[in-house]
Amino acid sequence: MDPFELRPFRMEDLFSLVKYANDPFVADRLTDAFPHPYTEAHGRAFLERVIGASPTTHRAIVVNGEACGAVGLHAQADVWKRNLELGYWLARKYSGQGIMTDAITGMVEFGFAQYPEVDRIFARPFGSNIASQRVLEKAGFTLEAKLIGTMVKKGRVEDELIYAVRR
């Protein structure tokens, strides 16, 4: 496994962020809110938003000095306020090396430490994304629900899986 660093994003990450995020392989495994093509304007807007956040709930996954992935926590509101949603992606060239499992584990620890009122962190991978499901399971998440045919990505109907880990 390549050594990696999990750290807050910096504006200097723009070039590598765009380089790795602008991959159809990455975008195809995320919701449509993740743009493709992923342009410099998208990267700059993302970095301005997450760098200015307090607390900083998004981390860059850095390998060989390049931001080649991201992991973030999204606070929930209203009756779901004791939950955080986990989002994540990693450049294709680094998949299968255990990096994402370790990054998710680190973010779960951070989330529970930063948000003492939160008792559940969840993620919703596509039913077809077996690699993502395995990563979550290796990071201690369990499958809570499978919703049949609830999502459509590029014309294909996808099952929505709900994985969670509790404090």
Among residues of the chain, what percentage have pLDDT more than 70?
A: 99
Answer yes or no: are the C-beta atoms of 87 and 123 closer than 8 Å: yes
pLDDT tens digits along 13-43: 999 999 999 999 999 999 999 999 999 999 9
pTM (global) more than 0.85: yes
Nearest-angstrom CA–CA distance, 137 and 47: 29
Number of domains in the chain: 1
Mean pLDDT computed over every residue of the chain: 96
Sign of CA dihedral 160, 55, 13, 35: positive
Output the pLDDT for position 56: 86
Structure tokens at 101: 């499992």
* CATH number of the domain that residue 42 is part of: 3.40.630.30
Nearest-angstrom CA–CA distance, 21 and 124: 19
Output the pLDDT for position 2: 65
Residue 15's domain spans which residues? 4-118
Among residues of the chain, what percentage have pLDDT more than 90?
A: 95
Q: Which CA distances in Å does 95 have to 4, 28, 54, 132?
A: 12, 15, 30, 10
